[in-house]
Structure 1
Amino acid sequence: MISNSVNLPDKAKWVWRETLSVHRRAPETRIASSLSSIEIFVALYYGGVLNIHPTDPRWDGRDRCVISKGHGSICMYPILADLGFFPAAELDRVCKAGGILGGIPDPIIPGYETVNGSLGHGLGVGAGMALGLKRGGSKQRVFVVCGDGELHEGANWEAIMFASQHELDNLHLIVDNNSIAMLGFTDDIVSHAGLVKRLEAFGWQCLEVDGHDVLAVQEQLLSLKAISNGRPKALVARTLKGRGVPGLENEALSHIMAPKAELLEELLKASDER
């Protein structure tokens, strides 16, 4: 388990800078979706939440982390390299021939559990993992990180009902609730208003948090992990898509937008000078 003595706010700022650097080298990556989830992943991987061994990614005793919003996890690349899942030199080969880090991650990358290209399936896969672990008497937990836009997919709600039916209290869903899907605001497509109450109505234990307050995210995740009451658990994290990038933050079409190279240079320079 990674020590929770890491300064999480400082680490989140570092990951933000590194994510911009990765996108500067590989502009085909989805940057806006990756900027909203940074604090979630920092809390998971540095905050003492996940039980993992970076030098043995397939260790049987590990907690499973299913990253359903794969395109929105480019910020995971510097995290995994920093923790020792793979050499940091791979960060220079994102989306390049011979590299293992693509625009959409897959299990060739140490630290990724599943294929993450088709949205809406991560929770179902995670529920299956949780059921298998529970029936096998294992103590490991399963964490699934999904975007709010992919909750428009019906397969998620099948998994939500399935997890409640089978009392999968070893399953933890984290919703990156940035309010923007691929082509606009989620509320203009299918509203997620009252998401916590909806999940609770399906029998889930739910909490809500400011998704950019990394210490609050850590606290809530540890709190949920400690509960064993026969109910699957969810943390709805309120976030901003494209956070910290002018013209991208909270922009309706930010999912398919890429900031200009000049802006990235300015933001990275300003960050280095702080």
Structure 2
Amino acid sequence: MSWFKRNKAGINTATENKKEAPDGMWNKCPSCKKPLLNLEQIENNYVCQYCGYHIRIGSAAYFSILFDDNAFTELFPNLTAGDPLHFVDSKPYSERLVESQAKTGLKDALRTAHGKMEGRDIVIACMDFNFIGGSMGSVVGEKIARSIDYCIEHKLPFMLISKSGGARMMEAAFSLMQMAKTSAKLALLSQAKLPYICLLTDPTTGGVTASYAMLGDINIAEPGALIGFAGPRVIKETIKKDLPKGFQTSEFVLEHGFLDFIVDRRQLKEKVSTFLKLVQ
């Protein structure tokens, strides 16, 4: 009869005495929808233990995964974007920058740092999608350029982790110029015979894909990442044809020769370190 009335022998905690789980303790896997304990996610490098889905993370998490003991020196941390075009859409670009900085605690969509990976010095640049969609603006390009100069000066390998929706439209031509600028700097890095490792994560699209994200001495990607120039919907509307299954996933891109290999995030540090041992 306990189906129809409360069983007094059961748990009868008063509403005011019930305790909620602390915020941030549990998350849901975007793929399999199973609950994930936050501490277990950190231990598993933010990969779902049930289905292997690679949860989107930012520079802070990548630095903690790759740098020994999460020890590093951030390079050029105070660079911020200007608003040379006085761009206004739904709101002025200058206001959007301030709001994004307050919301994310970041200066712009990319951070760079110098540290050690399994005892070897390396410079890592990592994009943050939470800052205006990880869009490539003048600060992103300038930080990459300066980081490459730093690598050449100190004879260090360079790794770049891409995660972007493409060029930042609020900077127009200033943003697009970063494609040529960063590509030219990478040519100098190549001339100095220093390794450039590019990791493509979900998503890597637009002008980022068309420039520095695909110019690595070795191009690798995380499983299931969206990689492409234009989005699948735009391509389908343009060519008026259905796209192949899994189009623009890292597995599809690997099959068609644009990647060297796909690496599980839990083996990322080991794989990159092995590559550096082979080439240095």
TM-score bucket of the superposed structures, by smaller chain: 0.3 to 0.5
Structure with bigger RCO (C-alpha 8 Å, 6+ apart):
1
Q: Give 1 or 2: higher strand fraction.
A: 2
| Larger radius of gyration between Structure 1 and Structure 2 | 2
Q: TM-score, normalised by structure 1?
A: 0.36
Q: TM-score, normalised by structure 2?
A: 0.35
